[in-house]
Amino acid sequence: MHATGKSAGELSVGGPSVRGMTDAIVVEGLVKRYGATTALDGVDLTVAEGSVLGLLGPNGAGKTTVVRTLATLLAPDAGRVEVLGLDVGRGADQVRAAIGLTGQYAAVDEYLTGYENLEMVGRLYRLGKAESRRRAGELLERFDLTDAANRPAKTYSGGMRRRLDIAASLINRPRVLFLDEPTTGLDPRSRLAMWEFIAELADGGTTILLTTQYLEEADRLADRMVVIDRGRVIARGTADELKAQVGGQRLELTVTDAAVLPGMVERLRPLAVDEPNVGDQGRRLSLPVSGGAEVLVEALRRLDGGTAQIVDVGLRRPDLDDVFLALTGRAAEEVAADDPTAEPATTGGAR
């Protein structure tokens, strides 16, 4: 996980976090409505300069609406929203000049080459012809797109378009970068390379707000995290602090036949410290327990005679998936119907 040693807010969920002198992003009491639907209902968060904040929550929670508001693409209905000390309404032009944005969907011109796409964005930022071309060449090389630089973007694969889109958001060397699910569509190798690059940016002083559905991504990159659900902040802290809210070990087992699981649950219930969770069409059990290997031994003893039905069993620590389930009652990837916040975000501060 990237670490800067700078605090991005307090753990309290009940009110705005205490901000310091180096906060690059300040959001207090942010409200955004779409007609009768309240997409954001009093969101508070801060991001320290040079740090990475992971903004997490199920689809439909309001993450993209937060990003679009910070990037000046949406006007807040209430609240205080500042980037680099600038109000996103009154100082919108100055904010756009200092930020980069990559939305959920790649926003590139299909009929321009990769090189032309990046040069165009540089010119829109008024970098000048020579500097725009130089930056385009640097970023094409950095994102392994040099061989495809002179091909129309419509010939690119989905992963290549994504890399080009992220490259475009960096053309002006932004002080603050908004990454809305930046590795969607990337293969595992490209995703790992992107993680390394994001960490390098933060180490170099870039402030990053990252939304993601890949919980491993947030775990690895974010200094701190804010979890929102239904437009409200429900938790904040480091990955370890959030996991600590869920509790200790999980006894997990998978059976061949869903019909045997209810009986196993009853036999194992005395070992549980909280309610068991049954998933995977009734074939998988996750049981919060206290203790280590001795709990696993005792569980197998209690199931003696039915172990032939078990195809997998073990103990593991809670991860961010467990955090989502515990805090929201939903998995991170669960899609909310009629989500007003799921509009594609325009990419790039000046595009």
User: Cα separation of 31 and 74, whole Å?
Assistant: 11
User: Cα separation of 18 and 37, whole Å?
Assistant: 29
The percent helix, strand, coil of the chain (3-state, each to 5) is: 35, 25, 40
- Start-end of H helices in 11-148: 63-70, 92-98, 114-124, 129-142
Looking at residue 46, its pLDDT comes to 96
In a domain, 102, yes or no: yes
Question: CA-based diameter of the chain, in Å?
Answer: 76
Q: Are both 83 and 124 inside the same structural domain? A: yes
In a domain, 16, yes or no: no
User: Cα separation of 234 and 249, whole Å?
Assistant: 23
Higher pLDDT, 25 or 193: 25
Q: Are both 227 and 181 inside the same structural domain? A: yes
Total domains in the fold of the chain: 2
Residue matched to tokens 């696993």: 296
In a domain, 303, yes or no: yes
Q: Which CATH number is 307's domain given?
A: 3.30.70.260
Q: Are both 162 and 265 inside the same structural domain? A: no
DSSP string, 205-220: T-EEEEE-S-HHHHHH
Q: Are both 94 and 164 inside the same structural domain? A: yes
pLDDT tens, 107-142?
A: 889 999 999 999 999 999 999 999 999 999 999 998
Domain that holds residue 282: 248-317
Residue type, 285: L
- Computed over every residue of the chain, the mean pLDDT equals 84
User: Cα separation of 236 and 9, whole Å?
Assistant: 8
Q: Are both 212 and 229 inside the same structural domain? A: yes
Of 210, 213, 188, the C-alpha closest to 199 is 210
Q: Are both 67 and 173 inside the same structural domain? A: yes
Looking at residue 332, its pLDDT comes to 55
Residue ending a domain, choose from 243, 278, 302 = 243
Q: Are both 191 and 129 inside the same structural domain? A: yes
Residue ending a domain, choose from 243, 274, 305 = 243
Q: Are both 312 and 193 inside the same structural domain? A: no
| Whole-number percent of the chain with pLDDT over 70 | 85
Looking at residue 213, its pLDDT comes to 75
Tokens of 182: 């930046």
In a domain, 297, yes or no: yes
Minimum mean pLDDT range among 262-271, 298-307, 320-329: 320-329
What is the average pLDDT across 161-174? 92
Q: Are both 66 and 178 inside the same structural domain? A: yes
Q: What is the pTM of this model?
A: 0.75
What is the average pLDDT across 272-299? 83
Range of 102-106, 205-209, 269-273 with top mean pLDDT: 205-209
In a domain, 1, yes or no: no
Residue 54: pLDDT over 60 = yes
In a domain, 218, yes or no: yes
The answer to whether 84 touches 118, Cβ cutoff 8 Å, is no
What does DSSP assign to residue 80? E
Q: Are both 237 and 261 inside the same structural domain? A: no
In a domain, 323, yes or no: no
Q: What contacts 109, CB < 8 A, 6 or more positions away?
A: 116, 117, 120, 153
Residue ending a domain, choose from 191, 211, 243 = 243
Report angle CA 285, 291, 293 to the nearest 5 degrees.
80
Q: Which CATH number is 213's domain given?
A: 3.40.50.300
